[in-house]
Amino acid sequence: MDPISLEVMWQRLIAIADEIDTATIQTSFSTIVGESHDFGCVLMDANGHGLAQAQWSPPQFCTMLPRTTRVMLEKFRPETLAPGDVLATNDPWIGSTHLPDYNLVSPVFRNGKIVAFLGTVAHVSDVGGHLGDLEATDMFIEGTRLMPNKFYVGGRVNEVVEEFIAANCRVPDMVLGDLHAIVGTHRVGIRRIQEFMDDYDLDDIQELSAAIQDKSEAALREAISALPDGTTHYEITADGYLEPFTLKASVEIRGSQLIIDFDGTSPQQDHSAINAAFNISYATAVYPIKCMLASAIPNNDGLVRPITITAPEGSIVNCTFPAPVKARAKVIKHIPPLIFGAFADLLPNEAIAAAGGIFPFHFVGSDPRFGTFAVHMLPHGGLGATHADDGWLPAAYPHNSTVTPTEIIERQCPAIMTEKTLLTDSGGAGRRRGGPGQRITLRCTAEKPVLLTIRPDLLKFPAPGLHGGGFGLNGRVEHNGTNLTRFRPIPWNPGDDIVLTVPGGGGYGDPRARERERVLEDVALGLVSREAAETTYGQADLPTARELRIQAIRDHVHTVRGGAER
Amino acid sequence: MSDGFSASDGIDLEIQWQRLISIMDEVDNATVKTSFSTIVGESRDFACILVDAAGVSLCQSSFSPPNFCVVLPRTTKILLEAHPLDTLEEGDVLVTNDPWFGTGHLPDYVVITPVFYRGKVVAFMGTVAHLADVGGHPGDIEAFDVFTEGVRVPPAKLYEAGKENRLLFDVIGGNCRVPNLVLGDLRAIVGTHQVGARRIHEFLADNEIDDLVGLASEIHGRSERLMRERIAALPDGRYEFGLDIDGYRRIVHLHATVTIDGSDVYVDYTGTSPQMPDAAINCTYNTTFASTFYPFKCALVPTIPNNEGLFRPIHVSAPEGCILNTTFPHPVNARAKTTNNINQVLFGALWPAFGEHAQAGAGSIWPISVSGTTAEHGRFSVHVLPHGGRGAMAGMDGLPPIAFPHNSAVTPVEIWESQCPVMITEKSLLPDSAGAGRQRGGLGQVMTFKNIGSETISARVRPDKIFCAPPGLAGGRPGKTGQVIFNGTVIDRFPILPFAPGDTLTMRMPGGAGFGDPSERPRDAIARDVQEGFLTSQAADIEYGYVHPSATQGDA
């Protein structure tokens, strides 16, 4: 297959996945799918290997879903499937590792034969279970598990499955609405694949599938081969919950192969829901490799072939059934900095220092002005620095999510955000500075207590830097001036304050090597204090605050004029 | 009246009726023998009921808890709405654990098997069983909705024409911690129904009848007539009683207005507290109905085997959204905290009419369990169901601690201590805990549990009547309230307790209430109580104005 045809056909598959993605947004019932975009769409070949994903899809979903599909196909053999069948599961050990993520997979038939599969994984609004988050002792507390089953049989909904899902969630209209919508988007996708195959007069897509995967694999192998053989080690200790945990990785380059082993990583925890089942640890470890070595190649299963990942069974990155798993993001968000850390010497230009992470935040209650409300907010800390750039201001990482605007929150629940500010000296020092953290203060204006759930991180162990870069600022949560260390749902009383200090990102390189003008700019912006500029960054003879302000205005005017002249 | 049953023949009726009951006893025995879990096999938390083709209950096995038997036919009718009679095939089995359709909380699965004879459904074998686990949180009383409490199986076919519904077995098994026990029990129950169906076939063949319609109508008709006669013998009128009970976090008021009108009884619970959004003590209507029926059955027709004919004259209403008719999806797991008190409201209202059958307030059940994993005991979860004292009746003092108003067994201390690292350091009757009266209440008891292991385990306790005492009747005094003491501190919230090595938990369980004016209690009965140590001399003086001779001598 010539490269031009390959590229055209490959892009068309991606466009089909994008259309499924768009259809999902347009037809979904819940905001978590429709607006927060917490779903992924993948097109797979007849063997269940990923070929193309929608461009907006979170990367981990797209690595996991083909693995989930292949497990479901062991129970429901492809030869027993019929057009209109849809397989479904939310089993954490088969799917994307916590119960709210439902996986739906539809076979695509052509001339009586399966030629492809379409898959969607979506975080649905509710799966029953407790209202808690971090504090759990097993998965059964966390909601209802649907073992791999046919959600549709020959184009008709399987009523037993539908009733079972409905009976076990608080918002059945929303959850079933989303699931039926997804089945509809698969029908759109199936039509598009038929048209595609008509246009190219194809009976199957085996050749195309092989070309996509083989070429991707070859490109990644070439990039790995360019690295010297050998093994590096890295470890990160993080807060965990109630007790800290350590992630350890050894990364071995052996010719064109890359072998990651999590040996030495802490065991799973019985009393907190931060355990990760292997699928997501695998997918999250693949992600930084892809970013560093094959960033321009669209995701597909060819890219995982050169990578072998192992983790000890019973460790916190390969937990065993039925460990509680709902808040596994507390662990897996430390996997990208772990892998980047291991590559810091090998690929100094590509590695990223650790980020300040996410503090998911959730109010539930009822109030005469707002009715019954459930509002989510996903504030982030600063990002880690790289060889080339300072860490970003607070933004979602390592996954994509949107930040609910203050105005929306204040309209939807009885809370006022009295403060939202970037924090001085919160980004880790370095030749490139970590992104600053932020402080958010909320005041309860409800008439009766609101239930508030928060899942902070980096309270004890801040985000580490790379190559001599400093740590970001630790996180902190204060309720009416008291520092919190346990995070069960908190009764938030009228007039109460909650102050979130969301951590800063780690720095990169020696702070004393930072250019003076960058330090002065940081001081002018209030991101670095005068004391830190002098002691940490080693700058003497700092201009006065007034001089810095004037300089800042001049720079601003210059930038604006420059823009206008262009 | 159909097919060969002679209504006039009381002997035939009795023989056939008893044979049906013995068929259900055989189903019951088979359940004990083939079940996998101790909760079904040993604690006997299940019931087997024969239901006629219209979904009306005919009889139950002799050991079955009464509440289950009242609820099961109601559940059957709902299952038949979802899966109508004419769509059923031989070998089908229907199931649900929905609290609003079934017995009011998720662990109770209702399993129904149609019995076919000559091509049509002649009856249903029904079993209600409390299964070992339904997933959900390990908390008990503290919950915000039913979704927290476990998995809910809507009315569905567990077997289709003799074949397991793989999907249902997958999801029921996949959502509980001990799938072997739960699925084992469900399969065992289905097996016992096949035994029952064979016996029904033999019964029909032996009696040369095609169905049970004639027999059912006779059983129901006669039972209803007797119940109506007994009700008609009570004085017509309106009887009202209100009772505060502990509830959880907040006191709950139960209020009953009972109208006896000829041969009908109308019980209305208007005035009862609203349902609780944050405590799992809400009752679905089914449980309220069953707990309401029970005192009438005990007081009026104690010797008639339970069947639906007896229910017909009893009409129960409760405002939707009150704690006795809770709406979906309120939490319900610990509904017994409320239902256990229903009989006391009714006796409070009806004692003038019920006479010697009325019983003063009892000390309630105090379930306690411990669980954890230790080197010595492995993974364990052990429970014991001790009670407070029983209430007095017009003819007798209250009994010492014994199960009421349901049946349950008390795990022996030796068994408990061999299964977990917790020693029971004290188990004794509590002097002065009984309510005074012409007939006094039964004594409460105190039990102390101590963690003698080396690891922290979990303890769960669900006390009752720590705020609101068991009420007396006819001038009898209330029993003493109970107390839970954790390492020397009295506690009043009951989420799961971390139970550390050396920790102690003491449960002082309430005494039963008295019946009749204490001043009418015979002096020799008081003297005996003092002598036995049931009553201290000070209390004898205060409660009864009785000065024990030994006390006087001591002073002298």
Write the CA distances from A45 to A56, A144, A307, B327, integer angstroms.
20, 30, 20, 48
* Predicted local distance difference test score (pLDDT) of residue B5: 54
Alpha-carbon Rg of chain A, whole angstroms?
25
Crossing angle (nearest 10°) for helices A206-225 and A278-293: 70
Query: What pLDDT was estimated at residue B139?
Result: 75
Q: Alpha-carbon distance B141 to B536, whole Å?
A: 36
B198: amino acid identity, one letter: R
What's the pLDDT score for residue B1?
39
pLDDT reported for residue B3 = 45
pLDDT in tens, B208-238: 999 999 999 999 999 999 999 999 999 999 9
Query: Which residue blocks in B471-547 are alpha helix, DSSP H?
Result: 523-532, 537-544
pLDDT at B124 over 50: yes
Whether the per-residue pLDDT at B423 is higher than 60: the answer is yes
Q: Which candidate, A251, A258, A264, A260, places its Cα nearest to that of A312?
A: A264
Most B CBs within 10 A among A147, A176, A320, A321, hence the mutation to make, goes to A147
- Give the distance from residue B133's alpha carbon to the nearest chain A alpha carbon, in angstroms: 10
Taking the C-alpha atoms of residue B47 and residue B57, their distance in angstroms, rounded to an integer, is 12
The secondary structure element, H or E, covering residue B60 is strand B57-60
pLDDT for residue B8: 58
B136 and A141 in contact by Cβ < 8 A?
yes
Residue of B147, B170, B176 lying closest to A128 (CB–CB)? B147
What's the pLDDT score for residue B555?
Answer: 44
- Collect all residues of chain A within an 8 Å Cβ-Cβ radius of residue B171: 144-147, 149, 164
Contact list in A for residue B157 (CB cut-off 8 A) is 160
Does the structure's ipTM exceed the value 0.95? no
Q: How far apart are CA B487 and CA B343, in angstroms?
A: 34
- On whether the pTM is more than 0.95, the answer is no
Chain A contact present for B147, CB below 8 A: yes
Contact of A48 with A66, CB cutoff 8 Å: yes
Rounded Cα distance between B192 and B47, Å, is 12
Contact B147 A168 (CB under 8 A): yes
Q: At what angle do helices B166-174 and B179-207 cross, to 10 degrees?
A: 140
For residue B422, count other CB atoms closer than 10 A to its CB.
25
Tokens 């199960």 -> residue: B403
Is B148 in CB contact (< 8 Å) with chain A? yes
The two structure tokens encoding residue B232: 């008609």
CB contact under 8 Å between B167 and A140, yes or no, is no
DSSP letter for B291, please: H
> Would you give the distance in Å from CA B505 to the centre of its chain?
26
Q: What local confidence, expressed as pLDDT, does residue A211 receive?
A: 97
- Report the interhelical angle of B285-300 vs B342-354 (nearest 10°): 30
- pLDDT tens, position by position, B371-406: 888 888 887 888 888 999 999 999 999 999 988 887
Distance from CA of B544 to the nearest CA of A (A): 49
Residues in chain A with CB shorter than 8 Å from the CB of B139 are: 130
- Please give, rounded to a whole number of angstroms, the shortest distance from the CA of A242 to a CA of chain B: 15
Min Cα separation A56/chain B (Å): 32
Q: How many CB pairs under 8 A join A and B?
A: 73
Nearest to B361 by CA among B336, B398, B403, B324: B398
pLDDT at B556: 37
CA B100 to chain A, closest CA, distance in angstroms equals 12
Q: What are the 10-residue block averages of pLDDT along chain A, 566 residues in total?
A: 93 96 90 77 97 90 95 96 98 96 97 97 92 89 96 96 94 93 97 97 96 97 97 96 95 97 96 96 96 94 97 98 94 96 96 93 84 82 96 86 79 91 97 97 91 92 97 96 90 93 97 95 93 95 86 74 49
Q: Quick check: B154 and A170 CB within 8 A?
A: no
Q: What distance in Å separates the CA atoms of residue B302 and residue B253, rounded to the nearest whole number?
A: 29
Residue B41 has pLDDT above 80, yes or no: no
Provide the pLDDT for residue B63. 82
Q: How far apart are CA A145 and CA B334, in angstroms?
A: 24
SS3 B29: helix
* Pair B387, B274: CB distance under 8 Å: no
Q: Tell me, what's the pLDDT at B554?
A: 46
Which 98-117 residues of chain B touch chain A by CB within 8 A?
A: 98
Task: Identify the bridge partners of residue A375 per DSSP, sorted by sequence position.
Answer: A363
Contact residues of A toward B, CB < 8 A: 91, 126, 128-132, 137-138, 140-141, 143-147, 149, 158, 160-161, 163-164, 166-170, 322
From chain B, pick out residues whose CB is under 8 angstroms from the CB of A138: 177
Is there a contact between A160 and B153 if contact means CB atoms under 8 Å apart?
no
What number of other Cβ atoms are within 10 A of residue A512's Cβ?
Answer: 13
Mean pLDDT along residues B548-552: 65
Place of tokens 């939707």: B320
| Residue in A429, A438, A439 with CA at minimum distance from that of residue A523 | A429
From A129, which residue of chain B is nearest by alpha-carbon distance?
B148
A532 or B62, greater pLDDT: A532
Dist CA B220 CA B261 (whole Å): 21
pLDDT given at position A448: 85
Q: How many CB atoms lie within 10 A of CB B91?
A: 16
Cα angle for residues B179, B183, B187 (degrees, 5° grid): 165
Close Cβ partners of B15 (under 8 Å, ≥ 6 residues apart): none
CB contact under 8 A, B156 and A91: no
Structure tokens at B65: 């808890």
Of all residues in chain A, the one with the smallest CA distance to B147 is A128
User: Which chain A residue lies closest to B158 (C-alpha atoms)?
Assistant: A160
- By three-state DSSP, how is residue B534 classified? coil
| Confidence at residue A34, expressed as pLDDT on a 0 to 100 scale | 67
Of B139, B154, B157, the CB nearest to A167: B154
Rounded-to-integer distance, Cα B55 and Cα B85, Å: 10
DSSP state of B272: P
Q: Does residue B24 have a pLDDT over 80?
A: yes
> In A6-161, which ranges are E strands?
39-45, 50-53, 86-89, 101-110, 113-123, 149-153, 156-157
Beta pairing, strands B422-429 & B445-451: antiparallel
Q: Which residues contact B517 (CB under 8 A, 6 or more apart)?
A: B437, B438, B474, B475, B476
Question: A454: which strand partners?
Answer: A361
Distance CA A68, CA A71 (A): 5
Residues of A in contact with B98 (CB under 8 A): 167
Q: Based on the number of CB atoms within 10 Å of its own CB, is A544 exposed (0-12), middle (13-18) or buried (19 or more)?
A: exposed
d(CA B553, CA B546): 14
pLDDT, chain B, mean: 92
